Amino acid sequence: MQKPMRMEDLKGWEPAFWLAWKKYRLAYAFVLPALIAIGLVILYPLFSVVVTSFERYHLLEILTKGPTYIGFANYVEILKDPEFWYSLGITMYFTAACVILTILAGLAVALLLNLEFPGHKVLSVAILIPWVMPRVASSILWKWIYDDQFGILNYLLTLLGFKGMASYAWLAHTSSALWAVIIVVVWQSFPFIAVSLLAALQSIPAELYEAAMIDGASPWQRLRFITLPLLRNLLGVLTVISTIWDFKAFDQMWVLTEGGPAGGTMILGIHTWMNAFAYLRMGRASALAVIMLLLVTAITLFYLKIFNREEE
Amino acid sequence: MGRIRFRKRNIPALFFIYLAAFIVFFVSVFPFCWMLSTSFKRPEDTFTSVPKLIPPQFTLENYRRAFQDTLLGRYFVNSIYVASIVTLTGIVLSTLAAYGFSRFRFPGRKACLLFILCIQMLPSVVIIIPLFIVMRNLNALNNHWSLLVSYPTFTLPLSVWMLKGFFDEIPREMEEVAQIDGCSVPAAFFRVILPLTLPGITASGIYAFIGAWNEFLFAMTFLNSHELYTMPVGLNAFFGQFTVEWNQLMAASVFFTIPSLIFFMLVRKYLARGMAGGALKG
């Protein structure tokens, strides 16, 4: 039998809660629709992927017997799987190469655009093109550029004297396929870095450079002791953002190689997707997704640390 | 302030600057030009031992065939449909939320903002598995609903942060004056603040549109009949055919790129502000 509820029972919490709601009602009315939408399409899936990662959930078996709880078995299997470790290694290699090259290229282009030479305006619009093209469109375009027989890249390389490259199949060898995708990713992401850095460069007072020049500082010293220290925070943030973007890159790799040849460019994103939608092992794929999530969280925590430092 | 001048007579420096500028220009623009060039070439001029940038015989045949022989027109309509609905619903939700976050202080505000910022770090692969299971249970697979529901996962967070930046720039006195004149808070929002931030709202809407326009992973996973494909999935499906018709594929890619290009140029001056939120690039 349930005891009838009395008003006194509610005294402890209800008024405080209700008062808060009344006080901030208007604020919540503005914010809640979006928060509910985000909760439904992000929080719930996140919760559910963790649950599924502890289950045996095979898409074909699910029709007959439903998921069964199997504890950490999916994780144990993954950690014993050499394919996973290979994929993790490739992912780290791919991400690191993309980030380092993107930041260096972005910084170089930003420094170039910061010089006042006739034509810098044209150039600053031109560099936006790689960024504007849809990821899938530019991946398809680069696949055509990399074409072994009629691709323009091999033609240009033979013109430059690399006769051996005349019909080299870039996407058919593991190491060159990985680098081919790295180049596409860097090509697409350097404009963002360059534009961000250029904005920061232009806010550095010219007097700093003039003073340094009077003191006889060489261009290299001006870069090393004035520009880079002033850009340090932004460079840090951009590095972390790039790391996260390149870690989750999927489209370019999928269009260019589909993880091939023979699984040679199977980065974690594609490895997870294949487990879920090619082998239909949803439980195992969910565990992989959770592992990816933990890796991204580690990077994000680092990002938040920088973000909070800048807020203060 | 800012830009670095150098002496005009410094010829070696000028030479290296132009060399570097040429390389950057070539790398950025050439692939795009190559795509245009291939799309206007006849196949017999494409597969030659000495490729030419300017088509020897200019033709629109590739575009015509891309539309007639494939479902390109269909993909285009699907993409426009999905991206427009995602953009419109996104604008409503994110404008309200951004205003709330910008103007009110309430318990949980900072936590929610940080959470929304963190969502942008989520790889789509992580949430695509549970979303797939949900869509399957709701019978929404192979249906545009699955995309309309899942695209806000990446459009909303960006829009909220971007718009919050725009609202933060408008002085609070604007509403206070309106409220003194007898407007309620919602009326002040709709009559005074909204018109002022319209450019910002448009810009964030366009970003959402470009994001949805470009999205590949969800569409590839959730859709499997060609009639429902969006542009990216449809174009990638060209590779499934026995031989790749590069000319047609490049024509289709040009067609896929143009809307993105136009929209992007429209919001170019808002670039820097969008970045403050910490995540563009779809």
- Whether residue A123 and residue B21 make contact (CB cut-off 8 A), yes or no, is yes
Residue B110: inside a domain, yes or no? Answer: yes
- Whether residue A293 and residue B122 make contact (CB cut-off 8 A), yes or no, is yes
Instruction: Examine the domain organization and report whether B210 and B266 are in the same domain.
Output: yes
Q: What is the pLDDT of residue B172?
A: 84
Q: What is the pLDDT of residue A133?
A: 93
Residue B142: inside a domain, yes or no? Answer: yes
Instruction: Examine the domain organization and report whether B80 and B55 are in the same domain.
Output: no
Arithmetic mean of pLDDT, A185-199: 93
Q: What is the pLDDT of residue B278?
A: 42
- Whether residue B130 and residue A46 make contact (CB cut-off 8 A), yes or no, is yes
* Chain B interface, best mutation among A117, A121, A235, A256, by max B CB count within 10 A: A117
Domain boundary among B26, B43, B59: B59
Q: With beta carbons less than 8 A apart as the criterion, state whether A46 and B172 touch.
A: no
List of domains in chain A: 82-311 (1.10.3720.10)
Q: Identify all chain B residues contacting A147, using CB atoms and an 8 Å cutoff.
A: 246
- Whether residue B101 and residue A254 make contact (CB cut-off 8 A), yes or no, is no
Instruction: Examine the domain organization and report whether B76 and B34 are in the same domain.
Output: no
SS3 category, B239: helix
Arithmetic mean of pLDDT, A251-271: 92
Instruction: Band the pLDDT of A8: cuts 50, 70, 90.
Output: low
Q: Identify all chain A residues contacting B256, using CB atoms and an 8 Å cutoff.
A: 134, 136-137
CB pairs under 8 A between A and B: 281
Residue B3: inside a domain, yes or no? Answer: no
Instruction: Examine the domain organization and report whether B145 and B37 are in the same domain.
Output: no
Whether A134 has a pLDDT exceeding 60, the answer reads yes
Instruction: Examine the domain organization and report whether B36 and B103 are in the same domain.
Output: no
- Max Cα–Cα distance, chain B, nearest Å: 76
Neighbours of A218 (CB within 10 A): 10
Instruction: Examine the domain organization and report whether B50 and B101 are in the same domain.
Output: no
∠ CA A200-A203-A209, rounded to 5°? 105
Instruction: Band the pLDDT of A287: cuts 50, 70, 90.
Output: very high
- A242: nearest Cα among A42, A125, A103: A103
Interface of A with B in 4-63 (CB under 8 A): 20, 24, 26-31, 33-35, 37-38, 41-42, 44-46, 48-49, 52
DSSP, residue by residue, A99-144: HHHHHHHHHHHHHHHTB--TTHHHHHHHTTHHHHS-HHHHHHHHHH
pLDDT beneath 70, residues of chain B: 1-9, 241-242, 269, 271-282
- Whether residue B35 and residue A144 make contact (CB cut-off 8 A), yes or no, is yes
Q: Which residue has the tokens 């995708």?
A: A181
Please, where are the H alpha helices in B40-150? 43-46, 61-69, 72-103, 109-119, 124-137, 144-150
Q: What is the amino acid identity at position A151?
A: G
Residue scoring higher pLDDT (B277 or A307) = A307
Q: What is the amino acid identity at position B191?
A: R
Q: Identify all chain B residues contacting A144, using CB atoms and an 8 Å cutoff.
A: 34-35, 38, 246, 249-250
Q: What is the pLDDT of residue A4?
A: 59
Residue B281: inside a domain, yes or no? Answer: no
Alpha-carbon distance B4 to A82, whole Å?
Answer: 53
Q: Identify all chain B residues contacting A200, using CB atoms and an 8 Å cutoff.
A: none
Q: B78 to chain A, minimum CA–CA distance in Å?
A: 16
Q: With beta carbons less than 8 A apart as the criterion, state whether A280 and A223 touch.
A: no
The model's pLDDT over A34-79, given as tens digits with 9 standing for 90+, comes to 999 999 999 999 999 999 999 988 887 777 777 888 889 999 999 9
Residue A152 at interface with chain B, using a CB cutoff of 8 Å: yes
How high is the mean pLDDT of chain A?
88
Q: What is the pLDDT of residue B192?
A: 84
Q: B195 to chain A, minimum CA–CA distance in Å?
A: 17
Alpha-carbon distance B164 to B102, whole Å?
Answer: 6
Neighbours of B259 (CB within 10 A): 18
Instruction: Examine the domain organization and report whether B161 and B36 are in the same domain.
Output: no
How many helices and strands (H and E) does chain B possess? Answer: 15, 0
Q: What is the amino acid identity at position A116?
A: E
Instruction: Band the pLDDT of A10: cuts 50, 70, 90.
Output: low
Q: What is the pLDDT of residue B276?
A: 44
Judge if the upstream peptide bond of residue B152 is cis by omega within 30 degrees of 0. no
Q: A58 has which bridge partners?
A: A281
Q: B4 has which bridge partners?
A: A115
- Whether residue B133 and residue A116 make contact (CB cut-off 8 A), yes or no, is no
Residue B4: inside a domain, yes or no? Answer: no
Whether A194 has a pLDDT exceeding 80, the answer reads yes
Instruction: Examine the domain organization and report whether B74 and B189 are in the same domain.
Output: yes
Instruction: Examine the domain organization and report whether B49 and B72 are in the same domain.
Output: no
Alpha-carbon distance A243 to A245, whole Å?
Answer: 6
Q: What is the pLDDT of residue B4?
A: 63
With the C-alpha atoms ordered B50, B52, B55, B61, is the resulting torsion angle positive or negative?
positive
Instruction: Examine the domain organization and report whether B100 and B154 are in the same domain.
Output: yes
- B208: nearest Cα among A99, A3, A34: A34
Q: Report the number of distinct structural domains present in chain B.
A: 2
Instruction: Examine the domain organization and report whether B75 and B101 are in the same domain.
Output: yes
Q: Identify all chain A residues contacting B50, using CB atoms and an 8 Å cutoff.
A: 155
Q: What is the pLDDT of residue A301?
A: 81
Q: A158 to chain B, minimum CA–CA distance in Å?
A: 11
The domain of B75 spans 66-276
Instruction: Examine the domain organization and report whether B47 and B164 are in the same domain.
Output: no
- Whether residue B153 and residue A42 make contact (CB cut-off 8 A), yes or no, is yes
Arithmetic mean of pLDDT, A190-211: 88
Residue B5: inside a domain, yes or no? Answer: no
∠ CA B81-B83-B86, rounded to 5°? 105
